[in-house]
Amino acid sequence: MVATFGGGCFWCTEVIFQQLEGVRHVSPGYMGGSREHPTYEQVCSGATGHVEVVQIDYDEATLPYEALLAVFFKTHDPTTLNRQGNDVGTQYRSAIFYHNESQRVEAEAFIRQLSAHEVYDSPIVTEVVPAQPFYEAEDYHHDYYNNNPQNPYCAAVIAPKLQKFLKNRDDFLRH
């Protein structure tokens, strides 16, 4: 199965989903905009309408879609519009791109449940929209954190997020 999420910088989300048993591969890329084959610079300009996403190839028998949703919502802020921390712009918006009707239904139900239980202080702004063409990011974005752990952004933003996730992985997988 395939799942596609936009939850801020794809460097951050890629490394989190790589840690899950049942995930075969995580690809950073772009989705949701109007420009075909966009570059990173074009997406960062905000002019393409694309979101930085991760496309996840996973084994549904090992890792249900609901577990992916739980990790997605617990590892980014779904209440900030077009922003994750210091990363600001429409390319950082919170989005679930569903690949079939079952994913749409599960994602919308998941959001309703989070909202009903008032898990967040502010309303969830995550878009739930049909998957569009996926444009794989440039090679240097792949496995970025693992290849560049000393990069200041990786050290300051991604490393603490990853450490928190690894310490609490079982809790992150529970809904």
Q: Comparing C-alpha atoms, which of 7, 9, 1, 3 is closest to residue 137?
A: 9
Which amino acid appears at position 131 of this protein? A
Facing residues of 52 across strands?
30
**H/E stretch holding 170:** helix 169-173
Half-sphere CA count of 61, side-chain side, radius 13 A: 0
| Displacement of CA 42 from its chain's centroid (Å) | 19
Q: Which of 9, 12, 44, 154 is catalytic?
A: 9
Q: What share of the chain is helix, strand, coil (3-state, %, to 5)?
A: 40, 20, 40
Residue 26 CA to residue 116 CA, distance in Å, equals 31
Contact 165, 14 (CB under 8 A): no
Catalytic (active site) residue 9: yes
Reduced to 3 states (helix: H, G, I; strand: E, B; else coil), residue 15 is: helix
| Catalytic positions, written as ranges | 9
